[in-house]
Amino acid sequence: MPTDPSAVAESIIVHAETLCEREDHLWDVIRKLSIPVNELEDARDQNRVTFGTDEMFRTLLFKGIRGISQNELAQRLGREPSLVKSFHLDITDLSDTPTQQELSYTHAQFSEDTQEILNQTVAGIRKVALDNDVLTEGLVPSVPADAEEESQSANEYKKEKAQKTLTLARKHVIPEFDTHRAAHKTYSDEVMLDMFASICANNGSAHSEAEYGWLTDDELICDDSTFLRAIKKIAMPKDSDGQLTFEDFEDDNSMPEIDQIRDAIMTAFNAATENIINSIRGDDPFDSRQTVAAIDITHEQFHVWPWEDKEAGITKPDYPKMVSGYKKDGEYKRGYKYATITLVGDHAPIVLGIEPVKENSAWEPDDSPSYSKADLVSRLLDRAEQFVDLDLVMFDRGFYVNRVYADVHDRGLTYLSPVPTYEDDLEDIQNIQKHPTADEAVKHNVPFGIDGEVHHEAEFLYAPSTSDDADGKYAVFVTNQDCVEPEEISSVVNGYSRRWDIENQYKSIKDFMPKTSSTDYRLRLCNFALSTLIYNLWRLTDYLIKVALDEPIRSPPVITAKTFVRALGDFLREFG
C-alpha cells in the first residue's frame, strides 16, 4: 500500500508527545524517538552510505525543529558530542560527522513523501515540545503572527517575552546548578535558588532573608546557615566527598589550586549559558552580523586590612588568598577580582564566560603566584567559542600583553585595544602615515614578538582623544586588522565604543550580588556566577522584547533589572 505521510508523521508525533512529558531536552526526545524507517524512502545506496536513513532523519528533524541552517548544524555536530549521540551517529571522531553537503544531498535523496513526513513531523514535534516546556518559543524559528497577535500592545509583548524567559530560567537554566545534597533534603534546590533571587531582588543577604522567613513563618525560606551550605556545595567538584578548601590543594611551590572549585561552578554556568544562547538562535542572529566580544576585569571590594604590622611587613596569616589589590579613582583598594567575556555591540550583551583572577599584591612576597593575563584570556576565549563564532575581541589597556594578542591572532580573530603608554608627539614617530585632513595617523606593521621572535605584525592607530584621563593629546589603539588606512581610523576606533555595555554590566551584577562578609571563595565565586546568570536572563528578556518591537538593541532597557529579578524570584516560587 502507498505510504500515507500524514499517518506516519502522526505516529512519530504521538510518541514524541509521550517523551516530552518526561524528558527535559529536545535532543533526548529525538534520541529516544521511534522512527519507522521502513516507511521512509531514501534513494541513497544504504550499503555504501556512512549514515543511514534513521540517523539522517533524526539529524534533519532536529535541524527543522530548531530552524537552523545546514551549515550551522554541521558545525554543531563537529563540536557537540551530545548531539552526535542523540542522532545515533556511530563515529569515534567528531571530525567525521556529516558535512553540510551530506546533509543537503541526503535531504534531496528523500522521496517527496518522506520529505512531507519530515516537514509534518517537524511542525508537530515543535508544537508538543513547546507545550511541554521542552522548548521555549525563543528556541524555535519565528512564525507569522496572526491578526490578533499583530494587535498586541507593547506592554503585552513585554509581558509575553518576559514570561518566556522566566520559563526558560525555570526549565533549562537554573536547574543546571546542583547543590549535590541528599535526595531527602528538606529544602529543594529550587527553594534555594528562589531564595537567591529574592536576596538579589531585595539587595539583601542570607541573614536578612532568613530573618524575614522567620518573622513571616514562611516555610519556603530556610535559615541562613542552611542556605550558605547549599550554595557552597555547588562549588563541590564531581566525585568529591567533602568541601574543598585552599588547604586541600596547597603545596610549597605553586598557587593554591582553585581550578577544581572554578570548574565545578563553571560547568553549571556553561550549561546554563548554552541554553540562553540557544534561545536567541531562532533567526540565526549570529550569522548575519559581526560577532564582537569584550574582555575585562571587575572587583568586589573587600574592606579588611591585610596587615598585622605593616611597618614590620607582617601580614595577617589567615588573609584570603584570592584577594588582590587594585587602584580605582586614584585610591588603592582590595577585593576579589573576576574576568568576564561578554557579547557586545548589536547582540544581546550576554556574559559568555567567567574566570577568577589572582594577582600578586603589595602585602604578598614578590614571588607570590598569580594567574597570567594570557592564561585568563585563553580560557575565556575557549569558553566563548563553545557558543558563538567570534570575529573581534576588544580589551581594556590592562590586557596589553604580547601573549594575549598572540593567542587571539592564532585563533584567526581580530583584536582591538587601547595602548597604556605611548609617545604623544606624532612628529617624533617615524614612518607614520597621516590622514590628509584629520588629525589622525597610523603606524603600520609594528612587530609583536614572543620568545625573541616576531609572532605577527599589528597597526598602531593615533586618534584625537575624547577621554579626560588620556595620557596626552591622542588616544592610541593597537589592532591586528590588516593595513588600516588613515581614512579608516575613525571607523575602527569608534568601534571600540561597542564595549559600552561592560561598566553597566558590572554595576548591574554587583547590584544583584548578595551581601556577605564570608571569605570562603566557594561562596564568593558562586555568588558572582549566579548573579551574572540572572543578569544574562534579564538581558535576554530585554533582547527578545526589542526584537519583537523592532527597537534598537542598544537602546535603554525596556524592563529594569530590579523588576526582572523580583519577577524571577516570584516565578520560581510559584512554579518551581
Percent of the chain residues past pLDDT 90, beyond the cut: 25
Residue whose C-alpha cell reads 561578554 in the numeric block = 342
Residue 367 contacts residue 332 (beta carbons within 8 Å) = no
| Res 239: pLDDT | 55
**Angle value at C-alpha 291, between 381 and 265, nearest 5 degrees:** 35
| Res 192: pLDDT | 83
| Res 144: pLDDT | 39
Grid coordinates of 11: 505516529
Distances (CA, A) of 332 to 266, 322, 510: 30, 17, 20
Sign of the torsion angle spanned by Cα atoms 24, 25, 26, 31: negative
Write the CB contacts of 54 (distance below 8 Å, at least 6 apart in sequence).
35, 37, 88
The residue ranges of every structural domain in the chain are 5-135, 154-247+510-575, 284-507
Give dist(CA 557, CA 69) in Å, integer: 30
Distance from chain centroid for Cα 203: 24
Q: Give the tens place of pLDDT for each residue, 206-229.
A: 888 888 888 888 887 888 888 888
pLDDT at 530 exceeding the cut of 80:
yes
| Res 175: pLDDT | 77
| Interval 128-157 mean pLDDT | 59
CB atoms within 10 A of CB 239: 5
Residue 495 contacts residue 479 (beta carbons within 8 Å) = no
Q: Give the tens place of pLDDT for each residue, 286-316.
A: 544 578 899 999 999 999 999 988 888 888 9
Give dist(CA 280, CA 343) in Å, integer: 13
| Interval 149-171 mean pLDDT | 68
pLDDT band at 562 (very low <50, low <70, confident <90, very high): confident
| Interval 480-492 mean pLDDT | 84
Residue whose C-alpha cell reads 534531496 in the numeric block = 108
pLDDT at 247 exceeding the cut of 60:
no
Q: Give the tens place of pLDDT for each residue, 472-484.
A: 567 889 999 988 8
pLDDT at 244 exceeding the cut of 60:
no
pLDDT at 58 exceeding the cut of 90:
yes
Grid coordinates of 444: 603600520
| Interval 506-523 mean pLDDT | 89
Q: Which of 5-14, 214-223, 439-448, 464-473 is most confident? A: 5-14
Per-residue DSSP letters for 505-554?
Answer: HHHHHHHHSPB-----HHHHHHHHHHHHHHHHHHHHHHHHHHHHHT--TT
Q: Give the tens place of pLDDT for each residue, 327-365.
A: 887 788 899 999 999 988 777 788 999 999 988 888 888
Number of H helices, E strands in the chain: 20, 12
| Res 142: pLDDT | 44
Q: Give the tens place of pLDDT for each residue, 168-201.
A: 777 777 778 887 777 677 887 777 888 888 888 8
Q: Which of 136-145, 183-192, 426-435, 475-484 is most confident? A: 475-484
pLDDT at 535 exceeding the cut of 60:
yes
pLDDT band at 489 (very low <50, low <70, confident <90, very high): confident
| Res 137: pLDDT | 54
Distance from chain centroid for Cα 442: 34
- The CATH superfamily holding the domain 284-507 is Transposase Inhibitor Protein From Tn5; Chain A, domain 1 (3.90.350.10)
E strand or H helix at 384: helix 373-384
Distances (CA, A) of 328 to 341, 376, 524: 21, 21, 21
Percent of the chain residues past pLDDT 70, beyond the cut: 84
How does strand 432-434 pair with strand 441-450? antiparallel
| Res 488: pLDDT | 82
User: Which range, of 57-66, 325-334, 385-394, 424-433, averages the lowest pLDDT?
Assistant: 424-433
| Res 136: pLDDT | 60
Average pLDDT value for the chain: 81
Sign of the torsion angle spanned by Cα atoms 260, 266, 270, 272: positive
| Interval 99-118 mean pLDDT | 91
Residue 126 contacts residue 140 (beta carbons within 8 Å) = yes
Write the CB contacts of 553 (distance below 8 Å, at least 6 apart in sequence).
346, 347, 348, 543, 546, 547
| Res 421: pLDDT | 65
Q: Helix or strand or coil: residue 257?
A: coil
**Angle value at C-alpha 124, between 123 and 127, nearest 5 degrees:** 90
Max CA pair span of the chain: 95
